[in-house]
Chain A
Amino acid sequence: MTQLTARELDIQIGERSLCRGLDLVLAPGQCWAVLGGNGSGKTTLLHTLAGLLPHHTGAIQLDNLPIDTLPRRSIAQQLGLLLQESHDPFPTTVLETALSGRHPHLGRWQHEGEEDLDFAREALASVDLGEMEERMVQTLSGGERRRLAIATLLTQNPQLLLLDEPLNHLDLHHQQRLLSQLRRLAAGGKTVVMVLHDPNQAQRYCDQALLLYGDGEWESGTCEALLTVERLSRLYKHPMRMLQQGEERLFIPGE
């Protein structure tokens, strides 16, 4: 099964070192939450793991092969990334956009077939866009566009799913729906890594967590062990409190 590993990886923006000596093994069946304040390097980390940004130290391997030696196409067959923003300057339909997820699986001259259409339609239905196939993307609301980007990732159907703030613009219902869906994908053997901003959602839906403190320090482990009032207060540079409700712990920000 496909596994993504990072060893001794440094994440830098300009001269600033956001994360030093990162060791990470992203294995099938795991669901990861990446937590950290604004500008702590979460997006840069995801882009680097996806091979979109060069890394100057350390190693990233996809199935034991260095990711910077793999062609983009074969990376895209195994690894998908939901970007924080999507751009659609030219008129396209919802279905066409979702179908673009099949790109890495199609030969140069191959057209999308029935099977690809099935992938796209199923993905659109799963994010509640099944009725909007023929709509122009430009006419969608922010939340609908976000769900379309997610449907494109699901149509791509990679083994590894990296998601940069997947809940952006989503209403409460679609947030919970997406988180459950991602957890089911992980339970089915995919690897899911998502940047989240709510430690409660992280501990409810993810089993592993990566905390990026933004000053070079990082910690990883199970959500249960890692998510504590002390760590979260340091992570967000804001005092946190914990409420115990039966089995469930709830973290809430203090004054």
Chain B
Amino acid sequence: MKTIPLLILLILLAALALLLALMVGSVTVSPTELPAILSGESEGVAREIVLQLRLPRALAAFAVGGLLALAGVQMQVLLGNPLADPYVLGISGGAAVGALLALLTGGALLAVNGAALGGALGSMLLVFGLAHGRGAWSPTRLLLTGVVVASGWGAVISFLLAVAPQHNLPGMLFWLMGDLSHADQALPALIILALGLLLSLPQARNLNLLARGELQAGVLGVSVGPLRLQLYLLASLLTAAAVTIGGSIGFVGLVVPHMLRLLVGSDHRLLLPASVLSGGILLLLADTLARTVIAPQQLPVGVLTALVGVPLFLYLLQRGYRQ
């Protein structure tokens, strides 16, 4: 059983990444000061910064990364396609249109988040309805419907950017590239992540079979219809939650599942929890970099996930599958 050691290793790495995120920034906190701050013995600005600003943001980053990686694994199995990611069915596009409209009309953060969530759920229902319309639901049909709807959203996004007044553009672009600087509420995201993982784990072995096609899964005793529906709804809702909090942060949902498949294989009993942890770690590190590399200016975290992830992934791809 290599499952348990690997998960323990990932949990330790996640803890290290969290400590790092708490220490670095405009005010550097040394490892020796950290215990005092966390236990409440020390007062002052450092404590405020660590507990009020860095901790919630770090936890939110971890949760969003985990949500995206988990949704990515599920979408890839649902569509039987290793190139699928959480955004491929247009959920982030719908969310982006909602969020950009709210930003254009000068909405507050809450309005932007609400509009993003509304857009994501609307897009999810739209794709679901269209793919289900007439005739059989096949992964190809679902994928095509989603890709076309996503392109539609892409056009609307371009249109909104083209007509937006100058002073609104930076905020809109940041949202599109994925940005965690407004993520100050970590608890809801962590709860959704935990629920998502708890609901998917019982299906882990079924996912192993569905990955080999709906017919093969049916032959070996999987009730494909209900499983497909659960996967679609769960992956969509997890993605909707992630984009509502962090905008459309690219790369995590596509590449984390792949990296893990290359490293540890395709058994979803391991892949699901390992993806959650690895996605969380990757986004946590990327966000820490995003707010420190050219401080005091902040970078959109989506830029960093790609900059960190691309070389890492290419290296693993070169190295080939695990032996």
Q: Is A91 an interface residue (CB 8 A)?
A: yes
- Asked if A96 contacts B221 (CB within 8 A), the reply is no
B223 interface hit (Cβ, 8 Å): yes
The residue in A52, A101, A134 that gathers the most chain B C-beta atoms within 10 A of its C-beta is A52
B interface footprint on A77-119 (CB within 8 Å = 1, 0 otherwise): 1001101001111111100110011011010110100000000
Q: Is the CB of A90 within 8 A of B211?
A: yes
Contact of A52 among B205, B209, B215, B321 (CB under 8 A): B215
CA gap between A138 and B265 in the complex, in Å: 13
> How many B residues face the partner with a CB closer than 8 A?
28
Known contacts being A52-B215, A88-B212, A90-B261, is A96 close to B267, with CB within 8 Å? Answer: yes
Cβ B218 vs Cβ A52 within 8 A = yes
Is the pair A72, B215 in contact by a Cβ cutoff of 8 Å? no
A29 to chain B, nearest CB (A): 23
In the assembled complex, A73 has its CB within 8 A of some CB on chain B: yes
Interface membership of B202, Cβ < 8 A: yes
CA distance A87 to B81 in the complex (A): 11
Task: Tell me the dominant secondary structure on chain A's binding face.
Answer: mixed
A83 touches B265 (CB 8 A): no
- Asked whether any CB of chain B lies closer than 8 Å to the CB of A156, the reply is yes
Cβ distance B289 to chain A, nearest Cβ, rounded Å: 30
Interface contact B216-A72, CB-CB below 8 Å: no
Among candidates A71, A96, A106, A136, residue contacting B223 with C-beta atoms closer than 8 Å: A71
A223 within 8 A of partner (CB): no
CB distance A92 to B221 under 8 Å?
no
B81: contacting residue among A86, A89, A106, A138, CB under 8 A: A89
A232 to B119, CA, bound (A): 61
**Is B220 a contact partner of A96 (Cβ separation < 8 A)?**
no
> Is B292 part of the binding interface, using a Cβ–Cβ cutoff of 8 Å?
no
Q: Is the CB of B221 within 8 A of A100?
A: no
Residue B82 at the chain A interface, CB threshold 8 Å: yes
| A76 CB within 8 Å of chain B | yes
Residues of A near B209 (CB, < 8 A) are 100, 103
21 residue pairs bridging A and B, Cβ less than 8 Å apart: A52-B215, A71-B223, A81-B219, A83-B213, A86-B212, A86-B213, A86-B216, A87-B80, A90-B82, A90-B261, A91-B266, A91-B321, A96-B266, A96-B267, A100-B208, A100-B209, A103-B220, A104-B221, A106-B205, A108-B205, A138-B321
Binding site for B on A (CB under 8 A): 47, 50, 52, 71-77, 80-81, 83, 86-93, 96-97, 100-101, 103-104, 106, 108-109, 111, 134, 136, 138, 156
